[in-house]
């Protein structure tokens, strides 16, 4: 699979595998099959969190399962591992105070059976903690070797800019990756996000990331299977002509619609004002193989322009 060398030095596959439901609604056996399939396809970028999936368990399941898989397969050094801190899990853990960051990194390292995290995300902004306290705590993890690079997820653009400005002024480790929702379908911006800062990416954010040479990891990019089954379309997206068009083009190209969405996202950096985009999704092993075809799918400049114009 194609690899992308990010400005922060990480060399990642062109799409990331989400492990959100591993160990809860996705059984250990199915999760192992998915992980093995992803590696067989040449993937190396795996995404989890310290609270996945607490709504279906305790929040420890995903990291714990991945740790067991790393140990059994002996493949930790072949994976670029991302995890997160900052969201609530059954009334505890929410926030980015120094003591929370320092506690939860050790918990994540223990469960993941590793001594470092390649990419550590602030899972959501914490407006009640001074930015300086948060960035200094993250920087200490980098200096100790527990974390290689930092990312932000579910942040307003201006807050990310302030955090990185402070990091530059104080010689601290900056955020170098943004993880946020982006898909091909147009969002209904009048529909509020599920929780604070959980916004769908707009053009202004894309221009910001492009200007800062910061890659975007786009989660929820396949709209819960709506490209294959429009009845599954989330309320915050508009279907209509754009959905019809990408389904029609996918049929012409002989791929499933989700694969074409992956291809569109992976090629957006060829268009003016767009950053590098890395699609992030999970799937069954069979779906994973189908969707991964999008990474190798050829899109002409004319096709990209047509997709963007709808």
Q: Is 237 a catalytic residue?
A: no
- Please, what is the end-to-end C-alpha distance for the chain in angstroms? 29
Phi and psi (nearest 5°) for 185? -70, 150
Find the catalytic residue in 52, 120, 121, 274.
52
Cα gap 219→157, rounded to integer Å: 17
Kind of pairing, strands 11-13 and 3-5?
antiparallel
Cα gap 157→84, rounded to integer Å: 18
Are the CB atoms for 93 and 123 separated by under 8 Å? no
CA 153 to chain centroid, in Å, comes to 8
Cα gap 46→35, rounded to integer Å: 9
Of 243, 203, 208, 244, the closest CA to residue 222 belongs to 243
Of 142, 102, 150, the closest CA to residue 123 belongs to 150
Sign of CA dihedral 151, 156, 159, 161: positive
Are the CB atoms for 221 and 261 separated by under 8 Å? yes
DSSP per-residue codes, 47-92: E--TTTTTTTS-S-HHHHHHHHHHHHHT-GGG-EEEEEE-S-BTTB
- Assess whether the previous peptide bond of 151 is cis (omega < 30° from 0): no
- Catalytically active residues, by annotation: 52
């Amino acid at each position: 699979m194609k690899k992308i060398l990010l400005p922060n030095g990480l060399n990642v596959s062109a799409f990331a595998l989400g492990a959100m439901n591993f160990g809860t609604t996705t059984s250990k056996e199915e999760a192992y099959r998915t992980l093995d399939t992803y590696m067989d396809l040449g993937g190396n970028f795996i995404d989890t969190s310290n609270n996945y999936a607490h709504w279906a368990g305790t929040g420890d399941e995903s990291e714990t399962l991945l740790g067991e898989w790393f140990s059994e397969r002996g493949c930790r050094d072949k994976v670029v591992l991302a995890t997160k801190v900052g969201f609530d899990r059954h009334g505890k853990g929410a926030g980015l105070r120094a003591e929370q960051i320092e506690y939860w990194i050790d918990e994540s390292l223990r469960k993941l059976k590793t001594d470092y995290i390649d990419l550590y995300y602030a899972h959501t902004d914490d407006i009640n903690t001074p930015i300086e306290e948060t960035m200094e705590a993250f920087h200490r993890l980098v200096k100790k070797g527990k974390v290689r690079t930092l990312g932000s997820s579910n942040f307003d653009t201006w807050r990310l800019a302030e955090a990185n400005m402070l990091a530059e002024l104080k010689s601290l480790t900056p955020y170098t990756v943004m993880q946020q929702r982006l898909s091909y379908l147009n969002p209904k911006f009048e529909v509020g996000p599920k929780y604070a800062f959980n916004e769908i990416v707009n053009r202004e954010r894309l221009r910001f990331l492009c200007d800062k040479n910061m890659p975007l990891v786009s989660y929820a990019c396949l709209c819960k299977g709506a490209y294959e089954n429009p009845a599954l379309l989330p309320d915050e997206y508009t279907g209509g002509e754009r959905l019809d068009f990408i389904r029609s083009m996918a049929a012409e190209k002989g791929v499933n619609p989700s694969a074409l969405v992956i291809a569109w996202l992976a090629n957006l950096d060829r268009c003016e004002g767009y950053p590098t985009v890395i699609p992030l999704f999970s799937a069954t092993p069979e779906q994973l193989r189908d969707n991964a075809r999008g990474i190798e799918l050829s899109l002409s400049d004319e096709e990209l322009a047509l997709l963007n114009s709808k």
